[in-house]
């Protein structure tokens, strides 16, 4: 299929660990598309949900003089996220110590910090913040207990103060994001990298929906996975790949991973399924994979080939094509300062010179195979995370499929 033939595109979007409903993505796209249309000079109109197509919203546009249509389907798992985030204070602290032990005992923490310090520091933030809150609550309760001559009389008052402070911090988590981030990391680590049963069932449903679309009349089917949604999308696509269903697809099939954190899960000892899925997708000749990250995004493993750093065999690898969004170069200084800590908005600006966002990828006439082929903002197309040969000690611990030592 030629690039100019792509006028009908179906986009599956797999969000990360996000409790927000579908309408948030629809509204975010609407606002950003309107702003970008004014900057880039193309016409765009957002259409309401289409039950016939199963689309959560549609987009009709005139791009480079040609009309294109895109249908968006959000493959959501926000209900699972909400359930995980409903954990109380005690369960959150139990998850904290459990997650910390899993990463330290498996040595995944030490391997990750040698590869990219940014995401590891981001992972340590909720640990430090929650432990600091615990210390403040304990210290304040101890000060209160000093005002009582009787120990047994001080216990109930100190306990009330202790619980009240912890509840107060939890109520302020919209500011600190400590509980949210802790539950994010704990969700992936709870089974030492294996998928929980509810999530595996959701992945199966995602795979079935994508496979169904392969038989429909589209020029291109693009699966977009953001953050934690990237490795979920990989597992869904790998199921289809092993069935050889992509070979019979009527459309070109692509996968776009944005701000991926795959090593955080792939390095865990029980993440064998994810590593197998990575291996299968990275060797597929029927699906192309473009990975876009930005060095300015401290929460992602920027410019790292998730296949190579997971110590998987590289022979026969066809993807991913690794691109840098280079926010500091692609966005104006004013825009970059405003968006730097607004991660949800950054995903719609992840690829483009002159602030042309992901909207350009999903509406352009070219396939997403080369989303930024002429973008001056791209600073690298190669893996920037090095790995050393796997040692005999690691092989004896059956860790060769999990990780390898790295140098930055």
* Listed residue (180, 194, 134, 206) closest to 299, CA to CA: 180
Q: Quick: pLDDT tens for 167-203.
A: 999 999 988 899 999 999 999 999 999 999 999 999 9
Say if residue 351 is preceded by a cis peptide, omega within 30 of 0.
no
Look at residue 393 and tell me whether its pLDDT is greater than 80. Answer: no
| 101-111 average pLDDT score | 94
| 377-384 average pLDDT score | 42
User: Residue 406 in contact with residue 117, Cβ under 8 Å?
Assistant: no
pLDDT at residue 363, rounded to an integer: 64
Mean pLDDT of the chain: 82
333: helix, strand or coil: helix
- pLDDT: which is higher, 388 or 84: 84
Look at residue 204 and tell me whether its pLDDT is greater than 60. Answer: yes
* Listed residue (268, 330, 328, 257) closest to 293, CA to CA: 257
User: Residue 303 in contact with residue 261, Cβ under 8 Å?
Assistant: no
* Domain boundaries of the chain, sorted by first residue: 3-79+194-407, 89-189
Q: State the pLDDT confidence band at 263, using cuts at 50, 70 and 90.
A: very high
- pLDDT: which is higher, 95 or 310: 95
Specify the range with the lowest mean pLDDT, choosing from 196-205, 254-263, 350-359.
350-359
| 321-341 average pLDDT score | 74
73: helix, strand or coil: strand
Q: What percent of the chain has pLDDT over 70?
A: 81
Look at residue 103 and tell me whether its pLDDT is greater than 70. Answer: yes
Q: State the pLDDT confidence band at 237, using cuts at 50, 70 and 90.
A: very high
Contacts of 184 (CB under 8 A, 6+ apart): 17, 228
Q: Quick: pLDDT tens for 112-131.
A: 988 878 888 888 999 999 99
Look at residue 282 and tell me whether its pLDDT is greater than 50. Answer: yes
Q: State the pLDDT confidence band at 360, using cuts at 50, 70 and 90.
A: low
Global confidence as pTM = 0.86
Look at residue 406 and tell me whether its pLDDT is greater than 50. Answer: no
pLDDT at residue 158, rounded to an integer: 94
| CA–CA gap between residue 43 and residue 59 (Å, rounded) | 10
Strand residue runs (E) in 231-385:
252-258, 287-293, 321-324
| CA–CA gap between residue 303 and residue 381 (Å, rounded) | 8
Look at residue 328 and tell me whether its pLDDT is greater than 60. Answer: yes
Specify the range with the lowest mean pLDDT, choosing from 57-66, 185-194, 207-216, 355-364.
355-364
**Ranked by mean pLDDT, which of 204-213, 257-266, 367-376 comes out on top?**
204-213
Look at residue 295 and tell me whether its pLDDT is greater than 50. Answer: yes
Look at residue 3 and tell me whether its pLDDT is greater than 90. Answer: no
pLDDT at residue 401, rounded to an integer: 33
* Listed residue (383, 377, 404) closest to 393, CA to CA: 404
pLDDT at residue 368, rounded to an integer: 65
Long-range contacts of 160-169 (CB under 8 A, 24+ apart): 161/137, 162/137, 162/138, 163/137, 165/133, 165/136, 165/137, 165/140, 165/141, 166/89, 166/133, 166/134, 166/137, 167/89, 169/133, 169/136, 169/137
| 305-318 average pLDDT score | 83
pLDDT at residue 136, rounded to an integer: 97
Q: Quick: pLDDT tens for 47-74.
A: 999 999 999 999 998 877 888 899 999 9
């Amino acid at each position: 299929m030629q690039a100019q033939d792509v006028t009908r595109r179906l986009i599956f979007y797999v969000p990360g660990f996000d409790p927000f409903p579908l309408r948030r993505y629809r509204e975010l796209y609407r606002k950003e598309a309107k702003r970008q249309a004014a900057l880039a000079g193309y016409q765009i109109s957002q259409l309401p949900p289409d039950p016939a197509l199963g689309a959560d919203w549609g987009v009709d546009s005139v791009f480079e003089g040609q009309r294109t249509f895109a249908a968006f389907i959000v493959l959501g798992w926000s209900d699972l996220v909400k359930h995980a985030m409903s954990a109380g204070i005690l369960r959150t602290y139990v998850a904290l110590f459990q997650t910390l032990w899993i990463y330290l005992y498996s040595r995944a923490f030490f391997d990750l910090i040698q590869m990219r310090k940014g995401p590891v520091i981001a992972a340590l933030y909720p640990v430090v913040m929650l432990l600091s809150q615990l210390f403040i609550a304990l210290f304040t309760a101890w000060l209160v207990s000093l005002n009582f001559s009787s120990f047994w009389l001080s216990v109930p008052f100190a306990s009330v103060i202790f619980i009240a402070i912890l509840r107060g911090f939890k109520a302020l988590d919209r500011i600190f994001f400590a509980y949210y981030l802790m539950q994010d990391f704990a969700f992936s680590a709870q089974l030492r990298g294996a998928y929980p049963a509810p999530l595996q069932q959701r992945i199966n449903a995602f795979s079935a929906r994508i496979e169904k679309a392969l038989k429909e009349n589209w020029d291109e089917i693009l699966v977009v996975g953001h953050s934690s949604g990237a490795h979920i999308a990989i597992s869904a696509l790998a199921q289809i790949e092993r069935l050889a269903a992509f070979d019979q697809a009527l459309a070109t099939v692509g996968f776009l991973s944005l701000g991926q954190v795959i090593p955080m899960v792939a390095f865990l000892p029980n993440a064998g399924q994810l590593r197998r899925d990575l291996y299968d997708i990275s060797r597929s000749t029927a699906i192309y994979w473009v990975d876009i990250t930005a060095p300015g995004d401290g929460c992602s493993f920027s410019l790292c080939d998730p296949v190579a750093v997971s110590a998987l065999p590289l022979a026969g690898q066809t993807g991913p094509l690794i691109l840098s969004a280079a926010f500091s170069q692609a966005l104006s200084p004013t825009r970059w300062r405003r968006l730097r800590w607004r991660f949800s908005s950054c995903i719609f600006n992840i690829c483009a010179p002159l602030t042309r966002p992901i909207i350009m990828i999903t509406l352009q006439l070219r396939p997403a195979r080369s989303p930024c082929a002429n973008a001056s903002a791209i600073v690298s197309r190669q893996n920037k995370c090095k790995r050393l040969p796997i040692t005999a000690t690691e092989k004896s611990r059956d860790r060769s499929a999990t990780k390898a030592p790295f140098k930055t």
